[in-house]
Amino acid sequence: MKIKQQILFFLVALLCCGFATLHEYYLSTTVVRYVEAKGEIQMVSKLFLEDVEDYLNQENPHPFVLQPDNNQEAIEKAVELFLQSQFDIRIDGKNYTPQYLGKEYQDDLVVIYAYVHLQEAPKEIVLDNRFLLDFIPSQQNIIHFKSAKKNKSFLAKEGETRIRLVL
């Protein structure tokens, strides 16, 4: 009987320790690519589907359901507004609004596509990624910038959202 009690105690202790170390992570990734041949800044952002859905529904009297979309036209517009209100691009001192191309779902992620068309090659790019920071205090956003001449990665978090790149 004593061995059974010890095994039971060990299993309960193991379970408690396991639950004590569980953490919830709130993370997005955005790849920003300057494609010189097309004169474009291209963006691909991946965020957790549930977090975006909760954000979109926080003040929505008719809640959205994503994947499958319960109101595709309204959801597309809401995701576009979400992108444009949470991610800013400043190129050579001029503000640009990312042009929303669309979204798709990959497992538990929503993938958002956007771009900015440029007239000439940029000298300086400032990216400001605030995805969900006003909604989830522990949210963090990884930004990967890629071009023929420069590759950089950054972590945006509350109070530190702006990244300046000189090309």
Distance CA 48, CA 159 (A): 21
Tens-digit pLDDT profile for residues 96-127: 999 999 999 999 999 999 999 999 999 999 99
Q: Any idea what DSSP says for residue 63?
A: -
Tell me what pLDDT residue 30 has. 97
- On whether the pTM is more than 0.85, the answer is no
Distance CA 113, CA 43 (A): 6
Tens-digit pLDDT profile for residues 133-142: 999 989 999 9
Residues 6+ apart with CB under 8 A from 36: 121, 147, 148
